[in-house]
A and B are shown apart, each in its own frame.
Chain A
Amino acid sequence: MLEEAAPEWLSEEVKTGTTIIGIEYDGGVVLGSDSRVSAGETVVNRVMNKLSPLHDKIYCALSGSAADAQTMAEIVNYQLDVHSIEIGEDPQVRSAATLVRNISYKYREELSAHLIVAGWDRRNGGQVFATMKGLLTRQPFAVGGSGSSYVYGFVDAEYRRGMSKQECQQFVVNTLSLAMNRDGSSGGVAYIVTIDEHGTEEKVILGNQLPTFFDQ
């Protein structure tokens, strides 16, 4: 007996149910995310790039409600463009993070998205900011999304100050792989973005190329 002609998930909100991570090193930052977008129990997009550019050398990682996060990123992208034309130079990462924070604080009751902002600027080099629910804090590394709960132990134990660019990229890939294996709402492929003085480098690591751990 048909209760409803259409399944529940069609009207359910689309969440990015994610793992995102950002880490800074001397000279730049590495941002990473998985690629799964879910609506209820269905995967709506298995190859979504959740690393969204806010400016040439500033990216943000999206998590939470897909619509809210995408819209916030678009609005901040526009505001940052205007700001950088007004000041006549590339914007600071802190400015981008502040713009994101302003939106998530003002609309904290209506929005349910968390963005990690990371980038490189001339003044302070590589920086990572967390902006959940309206706070603004600079951290050496930040994890977010539903998959982050499973890897707090790993990142706390494995992080060391003064890692090189390659070590940071490996750290990000390992973290994403572990989280994607344990969290049902994270999966697909891994997207990595490395931002430094010389530019931005985007990389995709396919599912079967991710590092494997004890149970695989």
Chain B
Amino acid sequence: MKPNAALEGLFNGGNTPKAMKTGTTIAGVVFKDGVVLGADTRATSGEVVADKMCAKIHYISPNIYCCGAGTAADTEKTTDLLSSNLAIYSLNSGRNPRVVMAVNILQDMLYRYHGQIGANLILGGVDCTGNHLYTVGPYGSVNKVPYLSMGSGDLAALGILEDGFKPDLELEPAKELVRAAIKAGIMNDLGSGNNIDICVITKQRVDYIRPYQESQYKDNRKIKYKYRPGMTPFLTEKVVPLKLEVVQESVQKMETA
């Protein structure tokens, strides 16, 4: 689907601005006490890395978080909309939001747009019915699975998950599994890279660890690019005082009775 086809006409065959895709590896695993979500932090625009510390794990509600792959703007806006709508629903009903509610709202929205919104989302959360992990595709299809990965690095990550997943994992092995899966995506996919973010959701609390592991390939800047105050030389100086007149003065008494 090319919603920007009309845009190409305006550029007369020149280079249209490329949408910023997250070219990503995201993964999620359901473990004994909750859900672990993981993501890399690279956002690409064509062949350039546009953001090295992009946050791909989005807040939906206190007990639900969402990883997004696909077009960066679409995932941001869709998750923001979902978060607001879910907050309204839960205020209206007086109940904590359930993961399946978030999934239904998302599916509804994405199906209505017939794939024009390029958002591949992994939703994970803990509610009164248990620990859940869902994925929603851009056309509106929903899959409920105990572990999954999405994005351009998903096949590499899935290999690690398929090998290491067991039902009812403990917290540390689950975090390690997700970390290894994202690492595999970063190592084997050009569109994924930089650091690894992890989000652990349990009934009691949410641990958003950003970054969980930093990239070992950090560049060392040779010099500082900040300008010290006083570096720009003055050529001339002219001071013009602004004459202000008091036109109207009004006093309002504050009642403290």
Contacts and interface: CB of A to CB of B under 8 A. Distances in A.
Interface in A25-73: 37, 39, 42, 44-45, 47-48, 65-67, 70-71
A13 interface: yes
B142 A6 contact: no
Q: Is the interface of B mostly helix, strand, loop or mixed?
A: loop
A11 interface: yes
Given A10-B152, A11-B138, A5 B21 contact: yes
B111 A5 contact: no
Interface residues of A, number: 20
Interface string A1-15: 010011100110110
Nearest to B18: A5
A66 B44 CA distance: 29
Contact of A5 (B44, B110, B115, B141): B44
A6 B151 contact: yes
A10 B120 contact: yes
Contacts of B46: 5
B68 interface: no
Contact of A10 (B47, B69, B107, B110): B69
Interface of A: 2, 5-7, 10-11, 13-14, 37, 39, 42, 44-45, 47-48, 65-67, 70-71
6 closest residue pairs by CB, A with B: A5-B23, A66-B141, A67-B140, A67-B139, A67-B141, A5-B191
18 contacts: A5-B44, A5-B47, A5-B152, A6-B21, A6-B69, A6-B151, A10-B151, A11-B1, A11-B118, A13-B139, A14-B137, A14-B139, A39-B137, A44-B137, A47-B145, A67-B139, A67-B140, A71-B111
